[in-house]
Each structure stands twice: as structure tokens, then as C-alpha cells.
């Protein structure tokens, strides 16, 4: 309980989890057979293996072991504690997205969401996908954010997510989809606009028409498991800020909570190298004399995430882009990239679905700061991102990469923005400013705070020249325009 207490002290996770479970079970649909949170579904955690690893670990190595341990397992901290909010196989989404939404890093308002932590260890999960006229994407991830193929996009049907070793029978109308692990993440994103046509109602209808239920619940009632659309405060827990503040102020508490996530019975099997690292950490963590070095290594990891993310700048610009999202290698750089990405876009799509460009600095390499300047981003004629779905610009606040509060409740400027103004020369200029100046088109204005911020350009449904597939390598051939300060 030690790790849970440290988190609950900050954000009362346990009480919020109870309220969440009670709310989704009060919706009138058949309740799940098991309300155990998906982070605890598989029962007792795996015991620590305290025998020394093959190579003897000296106390002086504690700092480097902690650095590696946090780098490798950091994304699992998020999915483990996020999965504590409700039972497995229940699709949920916020009724709206605003600055109150903190649960996922770098949320946006371009789409409506329905997501679930999927647990198929006991039996398959049945996912019903209705037909719709809006665009949507299906993101299926392991617990570390790696993307795998599964339910196809824009293909209605009834799908059975089955575990690797399952030998049973599905109903004849259910299409089997094998998932690689017993516990994964499933996210639907439905577009609010298609070809600049407002599709909010259709997107919400689609989201509410999605169903996810265990096989036994589905057989009992094929209509069970409709998406629970919940008040936004259920998604207000700021996990990223919790992680950063624990690492900065209580690193041993963070390590305790991370160790609980790694040892959870729901955590996917570790590779041989990951298991050796876990064993080495567990051995060192038994001795409090190692705590100062373990704490230092943990804080080193957080610094390394930030430095590594900032190093992925597209040449000649201040825009950060990572080309291996969801498809990381299993070498040290791959682990570092996925943890760096978790800090900035936790549930990012791979480049088949979306490309992300993130900036913290203007063209002069000064920190973006709304108290010091306003900024413009001008897309020349023909140089907006080439996309099948949409592009959008969103501003974010600090540590949590959270939406910027503003009186106009405006959080994006996008290709779909109604009345977006194109200049006579075919260019589109977006103004980033705290106030809308006179005679500037409101549609082209993105509010920013009176202080530091970042801005993200999303390209959903990328086409050439955003990213070009050459064999198995993505060649980045699109550079977003500069962010230019104006006084």
C-alpha cells in the first residue's frame, strides 16, 4: 500500500476510482461481472526476486541502475495508475475537453474520445463498432505505448479481442482479433469536423454507440458496455504533474510506486534484459543506504527525458518531431525516446495516423512566453500540412502540457476552423496572443497565457510531403513554418 498512499495523498486516487466505478455502473446497462480496477485485475503482484543478477551490482552503481530503471519503465507508471480509475473493458470519455482535463498529456479538442483498458486474461473482450459518416482512428497500444495492429479504422463490425493462448469459441458474428498481451489500451478518436463540415453530433453519436464488454457480459446482453460519457472532472487527475513532482520532491516515493507498477500481475512480461534490470533495482532498493544514489538517478532520468525530447528538433527549425512514435526500438535510445514522448504526448499515434510537431522556442530560439510577445505562424500557399483528415495548432501550459484557460474557451486553430481567413496570396496566418487585437480575424487567433507555453502542430491522416514511406523508413520532408515574435 505504500505506493498507493503516496499517490492518494496528492490526488485522492482511491476515492476518485470509487466514484468513477459507481458512476459508470449507474448508467442502466448491464454492470460488468468484476469491478476490480484494471491495474489489479490479475490478482497478486509478482514477488520481487532478490537474488543478485548475473553481474554483481555494487552500491556505487545505484545511480546508473535507477537511471536505466526509470528510463525503461516510466511509461508503465502512467498506465498502471490510470488503470486504477475503473474496471477493465469499460469504454469511457469526457463529455467535453477543456483546461480541466489533465489525465492525459497534451489532450486536444479536435476529436471526441472513447478509451478503455482492455483485460482479456480471463476471457475475450467484445468490441462493437457502429457505422459512421465521420472519420475516426483506432489506437491500440501495449502498456508502454507501442502500437500494434488490431481493429481496422472505419470498418464497422463486432470484434472479439482474444489473448494469445485462448482456445475457445466466439459467436459466429464476431470477428476475432488477437491482442499480443493480456492487458492493453484501446482508444477511439472521432473527428469533430470532416472536410470543414461540423460533425460534432455525428462524432458523439458514434462514440456513444461504441460498446466494449467481456464475452460473458456480451452473451448475457449484446447491448451491454456502451461508452460511458462522464463529467470532465473524472479526468482531472494530473498524472504528469504528479510524476514530475514526486521525482523532484519525493523520488523514493516515486520509485516505490514505479516498482509496484513493474511488479503488478497485469504488467506485460518483461524481456530478459528488462527482468535483469528489475532484479538489479530490487536488490539495491532493499538497502536504504542506496537511497541517495537511487534518488539522484531518478532525477537524472527526468532531466534526460527533457533533454532528449528537445534534441529531436527538425533541422533548421525550432519544431520537435519524433519519427518512431509507437514503434520504438528495444535499444537504449528506443527506451529513452518512448519515455521522453510519454512526458509530452502520452498516447501518441504512430505516423500512419498522425504526425506531431512541438515547439517551445520561437524562430530566434527564445522561449515562447505570452508575457513578452505575441507570435505569428504563417503557412504560405500550398505549404499547409498535406493531410487526409485535418491539421491543428494547440497551445499548452508547462509541466502537464495542459490546455490554456481563456475566457473565449478557444483551444485550437485548425484547417477545419469555421471562417478561417486565407490571405489574397493564398497564405494562412495564425496569431498567438493573449488578447485578440482589433481588426484581426478571430478564427485565426489562438489564445496563449501570460507566461511560458508551448505549441503543437498536429497532422492527422498525413500524406506526402508530411511523411514519405520509403521501405521501412520514414523520411521527414515537411518543415512547419517559423514561429515569429511580434511586439
Position 74 scores a pLDDT of 98
Q: Is residue 280 part of a domain?
A: no
User: Residue 268's pLDDT is what?
Assistant: 95
Q: What is the pLDDT of residue 31?
A: 38
Domain termination site, one of 235, 256, 277: 235
For residue 466, the model assigns a pLDDT of: 62
Domain count, the chain: 2
What pLDDT was estimated at residue 164?
84
Q: Vertex 335, ends 329 and 340: CA angle to 5°? A: 120
**All three cell numbers of 73:** 519503465
CATH of the domain at 99: 2.60.40.1610
Whose CA is closest to 81, among 5, 140, 27, 26?
A: 5
> Of the residues 200, 219, 235, which one is the last residue of a structural domain?
235
**Stretch 138-148: mean pLDDT:** 95
Tallying the residues shown for the chain, one arrives at 487
Q: Helix 291-311 crosses helix 332-342 at what angle (to 10 degrees)? A: 80
* Domain co-membership, 97 together with 228: yes
Residue 230 belongs to a domain: yes
| pLDDT over 90 at 475, yes or no | no
Do the domain assignments include residue 4?
no
Residue 231 sits in the same domain as residue 355:
no
Residue 4 in this model has a pLDDT that exceeds 80: no
Q: Is the pLDDT of residue 49 over 80?
A: no
Residue 12 has pLDDT above 80, yes or no: no
Question: At 376, which helix (H) or strand (E)?
Answer: strand 374-379
Last residue in a domain, options 235, 261, 287? 235
User: Where does the pLDDT of residue 57 fall: very low under 50, low under 70, confident under 90, or very high at 90 and above?
Assistant: low
Q: What confidence tier does 15 reach under pLDDT thresholds 50, 70, 90?
A: very low
Grid cell in block for residue 301: 532520468
Is 355 within a domain? yes
Is residue 24 situated within a structural domain?
no
pLDDT per residue as tens digits for the range 90-120: 999 999 999 999 999 999 999 999 999 999 9
Q: Is residue 213 assigned to a domain? A: yes
- Domain of 207 in residue numbering reads as 85-235
Pair 228, 358 in one domain: no
Please indicate, yes or no, if residue 335 is contained in any of the structural domains: no
Query: 155: helix, coil or strand?
Result: coil
Q: Is the peptide bond before 459 cis (omega within 30 degrees of 0)?
A: no
**What's the CATH number where 384 sits?**
2.60.120.1600
Look at residue 448 and tell me if it is in a domain.
yes
Does this model's pTM top 0.95? My answer is: no
Position 278 pLDDT exceeds 70: yes
Write a three-state SS string for 95-110.
CCCCCCCCCCCCCCCC
Same domain, 225 and 356: no
> How confident is the model over 128-154, as a mean pLDDT?
94
State which H helix or E strand residue 241 sits in.
helix 239-249
Which region among 97-101, 234-238, 332-336, 461-465 has the lowest average model confidence (pLDDT)? 461-465
Output the CA torsion 221→222→223→229 (10° steps). 100
Mean pLDDT of 255-265: 97
Amino acid at each position: 500500500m505504500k505506493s498507493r498512499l503516496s499517490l492518494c495523498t496528492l490526488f485522492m486516487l482511491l476515492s476518485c476510482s470509487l466514484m468513477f466505478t459507481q458512476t459508470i455502473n449507474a448508467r442502466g446497462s448491464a454492470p460488468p461481472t468484476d469491478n476490480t480496477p484494471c491495474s489489479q485485475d490479475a490478482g497478486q503482484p509478482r514477488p520481487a526476486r532478490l537474488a543478485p543478477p548475473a553481474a554483481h551490482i555494487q552500491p556505487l552503481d545505484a545511480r546508473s541502475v535507477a537511471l536505466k530503471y526509470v528510463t525503461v519503465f516510466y511509461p508503465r507508471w502512467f498506465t498502471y495508475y490510470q488503470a486504477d480509475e475503473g474496471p477493465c473493458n469499460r469504454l469511457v470519455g469526457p463529455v467535453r475537453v477543456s483546461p480541466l482535463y489533465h489525465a492525459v498529456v497534451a489532450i486536444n479538442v479536435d476529436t471526441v474520445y472513447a478509451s478503455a483498458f482492455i483485460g482479456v486474461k480471463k476471457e475475450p473482450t467484445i468490441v462493437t463498432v457502429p457505422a459512421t459518416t465521420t472519420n475516426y482512428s483506432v489506437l491500440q497500444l501495449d502498456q508502454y505505448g507501442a502500437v500494434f495492429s488490431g481493429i481496422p479504422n472505419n470498418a464497422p463490425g463486432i470484434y472479439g479481442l482474444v489473448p494469445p493462448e485462448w482456445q475457445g469459441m466466439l459467436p459466429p458474428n464476431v470477428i476475432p482479433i488477437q491482442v499480443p498481451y493480456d492487458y492493453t489500451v484501446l482508444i477511439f478518436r472521432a473527428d469533430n469536423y470532416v472536410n470543414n463540415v461540423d460533425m460534432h453530433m455525428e462524432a458523439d453519436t458514434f462514440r456513444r454507440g461504441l460498446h466494449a464488454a467481456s464475452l460473458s457480459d456480451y452473451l448475457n446482453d449484446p447491448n451491454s458496455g456502451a461508452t460511458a460519457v462522464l463529467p470532465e472532472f473524472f479526468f482531472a487527475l494530473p498524472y504528469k504533474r504528479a510524476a514530475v513532482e514526486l521525482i523532484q520532491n519525493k523520488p523514493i516515493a516515486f520509485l516505490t510506486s514505479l516498482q509496484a507498477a513493474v511488479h503488478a500481475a497485469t504488467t506485460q512480461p518483461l524481456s530478459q534484459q528488462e527482468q535483469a534490470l528489475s532484479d538489479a533495482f530490487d536488490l539495491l532498493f532493499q538497502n536504504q543506504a542506496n537511497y541517495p544514489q537511487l534518488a539522484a538517478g531518478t532525477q537524472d532520468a527526468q532531466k534526460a527525458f527533457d533533454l532528449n525530447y528537445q534534441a529531436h528538433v527538425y533541422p533548421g527549425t525550432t519544431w520537435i518531431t519524433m519519427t518512431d512514435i509507437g514503434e520504438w526500438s528495444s535499444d537504449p535510445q528506443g527506451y529513452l525516446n518512448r519515455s521522453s514522448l510519454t512526458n509530452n504526448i502520452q498516447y501518441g499515434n504512430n505516423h500512419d495516423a498522425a504526425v506531431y510537431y512541438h515547439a517551445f522556442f520561437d524562430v530566434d530560439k527564445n522561449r515562447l512566453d505570452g508575457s513578452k510577445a505575441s507570435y505569428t505562424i504563417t503557412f504560405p500557399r500550398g505549404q499547409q500540412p498535406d493531410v487526409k483528415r485535418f491539421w491543428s495548432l494547440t497551445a499548452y501550459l508547462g509541466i502537464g502540457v495542459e490546455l490554456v484557460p481563456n475566457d473565449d474557451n478557444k483551444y485550437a486553430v485548425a484547417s477545419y476552423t469555421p471562417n478561417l481567413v486565407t490571405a489574397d496570396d493564398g497564405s494562412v496566418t495564425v496569431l498567438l496572443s493573449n488578447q485578440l487585437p482589433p481588426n484581426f480575424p478571430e478564427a485565426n487567433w489562438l489564445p496563449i497565457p501570460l507566461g511560458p507555453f508551448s505549441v503543437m502542430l498536429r497532422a492527422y491522416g498525413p500524406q506526402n510531403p508530411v511523411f514519405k514511406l520509403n521501405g521501412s523508413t520514414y523520411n521527414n520532408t515537411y518543415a512547419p513554418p517559423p514561429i515569429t515574435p511580434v511586439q
